[in-house]
């Protein structure tokens, strides 16, 4: 009953739709424009710095995978000589740099024999599995399960080598080397192991000659390479601790070669 009460005489009625002033609209438009522009610029700054931070860390620790496959026949031949006969390498062990985008970057493997690649490690790993399966077949022990186990065993050995190199770098305060570099350096181990497994296939005492020789060469190669990473690229300070840990890298190759080179389906044999 109270809702039907009309306007009372003598009582002013408040305006229902107040007219906006031009000054109010101007201030409102300018204020909203400033707020939107400020928030947009601040958001772009945050997103831009975040994307740059993520990209810099990805390139810092993982690098570009395509970089590690820029190889040719000339590089592969020379790289295998360096890996298998490091004591015959008379050149320097330092990687070559070039200016890219206002900063120094390392040249790809096709232009630098000291650059790491993933083509040789992957090919060597596949060759290792094939030679190990052939060795089992010649001994009458081949089976799909055994071949699968050899594949897993090789991957486990590769992972252990990467972990060893990475842990030593971190313990020395030099963990800035890209992870794919460590994967490549550790994967070169299979080039020597392939010759050790080939010695098992060949008659006579070929295995007992090839295994220690290739193991020694791989130890020398890794020591020289990691010494370059520590002292040249990461700029670590020289100390006796560095030399002891580099010696540890070389010594670890002997049990690792013995484990991976001994083709069997057992864990520790």
- Please write down the HEC assignment for all residues of 108-151: CHHHCCCCCCCHHHHHHHHHHHHHHHHHHHHCCCCCHHHHHHHH
C-alpha distances in Å from residue 230, one per residue of 21, 57, 169, 188: 72, 20, 8, 19
Percentage of the chain exceeding pLDDT 90: 44
Token pair, residue 17, equals 């739709």
The candidate with the shortest Cα–Cα distance to 20, out of 29, 11, 12, is 29
Decide which of 203 and 184 is more confident: 184
Q: Is the pLDDT of residue 39 over 50?
A: no
The H-or-E segment that residue 102 falls in is none
Q: What is the pLDDT of residues 176-189, one digit of tens each?
A: 778 999 999 999 99
What is residue 44's predicted lDDT score, i.e. its pLDDT? 47
Q: Is the pLDDT of residue 240 over 50?
A: yes
Q: What is the pTM of this model?
A: 0.75
Residues 233, 127: contact at Cβ < 8 Å? no
pLDDT grade for 37, boundaries at 50, 70 and 90: low
Decide which of 197 and 91 is more confident: 197
- DSSP-based three-state secondary structure for 104: strand
What is residue 203's predicted lDDT score, i.e. its pLDDT? 85
What residues form DSSP beta bridges with 104?
99
pLDDT grade for 231, boundaries at 50, 70 and 90: low
pLDDT grade for 1, boundaries at 50, 70 and 90: very low
- DSSP-based three-state secondary structure for 100: strand
Mean pLDDT within 35-41:
50
pLDDT grade for 32, boundaries at 50, 70 and 90: low
What is residue 172's predicted lDDT score, i.e. its pLDDT? 75
Distance, CA of 178 to CA of 180 (rounded, Å): 5
What is residue 235's predicted lDDT score, i.e. its pLDDT? 52
What residues form DSSP beta bridges with 99?
104
The candidate with the shortest Cα–Cα distance to 226, out of 261, 266, 184, 194, is 184
Tell me the pLDDT of the chain averaged across its residues.
79
Token pair, residue 14, equals 């408040």
Q: 187: buried, middle or exposed (CB in 10 Å: 19+, 13-18, 0-12)?
A: buried
Distance, CA of 146 to CA of 264 (rounded, Å): 8
Distance, CA of 72 to CA of 110 (rounded, Å): 6
Residues 246, 231: contact at Cβ < 8 Å? no
Percentage of the chain exceeding pLDDT 70: 70
The candidate with the shortest Cα–Cα distance to 263, out of 190, 196, 180, 212, is 196
What is residue 154's predicted lDDT score, i.e. its pLDDT? 94
Q: Is the pLDDT of residue 7 over 70?
A: no
What is residue 215's predicted lDDT score, i.e. its pLDDT? 94
Q: 6: buried, middle or exposed (CB in 10 Å: 19+, 13-18, 0-12)?
A: exposed
Q: Is the pLDDT of residue 2 over 50?
A: no
What is residue 141's predicted lDDT score, i.e. its pLDDT? 86
pLDDT grade for 250, boundaries at 50, 70 and 90: very high
Q: What is the pLDDT of residues 57-92, one digit of tens each?
A: 444 445 688 999 999 999 999 999 999 999 988 888
What is residue 242's predicted lDDT score, i.e. its pLDDT? 81
Decide which of 240 and 167 is more confident: 167
């Amino acid at each position: 009953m109270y809702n039907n009460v009309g306007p009372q005489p003598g009582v002013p009625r408040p305006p229902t739709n107040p007219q906006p002033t031009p000054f109010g609209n101007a201030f409102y438009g300018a204020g909203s424009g400033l707020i939107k522009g400020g928030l947009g610029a601040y958001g772009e700054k945050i997103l831009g710095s975040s994307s740059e931070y993520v990209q810099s860390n990805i390139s810092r620790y993982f690098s570009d995978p395509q970089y590690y496959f820029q190889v040719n026949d000339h590089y592969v031949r020379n790289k295998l000589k360096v890996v298998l006969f490091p004591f015959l390498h008379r050149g320097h062990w330092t990687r070559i740099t070039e200016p890219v985008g206002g900063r120094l970057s390392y040249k790809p493997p096709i232009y630098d024999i000291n650059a790491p690649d993933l083509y040789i490690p992957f090919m060597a790993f596949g060759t290792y599995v094939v030679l190990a399966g052939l060795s089992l077949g010649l001994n009458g022990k081949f089976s799909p399960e055994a071949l699968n186990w050899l594949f897993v065993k090789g991957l486990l050995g590769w992972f252990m080598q990467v972990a060893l190199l990475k842990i030593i770098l971190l313990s020395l305060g030099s963990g800035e080397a890209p992870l794919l570099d460590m994967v490549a350096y550790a994967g070169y181990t299979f080039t020597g192991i392939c010759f050790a497994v080939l010695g098992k296939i060949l008659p006579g005492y070929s295995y007992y000659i090839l295994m220690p020789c290739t193991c020694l060469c791989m130890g020398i190669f890794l020591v020289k390479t990691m010494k370059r990473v520590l002292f040249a690229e990461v700029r670590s300070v020289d100390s006796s601790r560095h030399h002891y840990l580099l010696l540890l890298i070389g010594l670890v190759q002997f049990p690792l070669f013995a484990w991976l080179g001994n083709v069997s389906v057992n864990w520790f044999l």
